[in-house]
């Protein structure tokens, strides 16, 4: 009976070691899965931040273009109202076109 108890204890010990090895492998596998997930999330975060910056720059460019058009329109309006613009003076022969 003592022999059976020793065999039983030995078998439990082997199973315990086997389970410990399997747990260690599963933990390593889980670490890899988590690392890949974190890398994927980090990549998505970087891509999202880059897209946000791109949209901000596009918006700034649109605003600058709109401001330029307004100023250009104001200058054209002022030019039409003034006889002293360089273009009109050149056309009237009052200044040298060169």
Report the predicted TM-score, pTM, of the whole model to 2 decimal places: 0.49
Rounded Cα gap, residues 8 and 16, in angstroms: 12
Rounded Cα gap, residues 7 and 28, in angstroms: 32
Q: What is the pLDDT of residue 72?
A: 85
Neighbours of 79 (CB within 10 A): 14
Q: Is the pLDDT of residue 64 over 70?
A: yes
Average pLDDT, the chain: 85
Q: How far is CA 1 from CA 6, 8, 12, 18, 32, in A?
A: 9, 10, 17, 26, 47
At which residue do the structure tokens 């880059």 appear?
50
């Amino acid at each position: 009976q003592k022999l059976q108890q020793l065999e039983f204890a030995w078998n439990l010990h082997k199973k315990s070691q086997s389970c410990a090895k399997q747990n260690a492998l599963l933990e390593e596998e889980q670490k890899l899965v988590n690392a890949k997930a974190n890398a994927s999330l980090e990549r998505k975060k970087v891509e999202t931040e880059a897209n946000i910056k791109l949209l901000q720059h596009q918006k700034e460019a649109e605003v600058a273009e709109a401001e330029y058009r307004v100023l250009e329109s104001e200058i054209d309006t002022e030019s039409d109202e003034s006889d002293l613009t360089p273009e009109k003076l050149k056309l009237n022969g009052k200044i040298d076109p060169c």
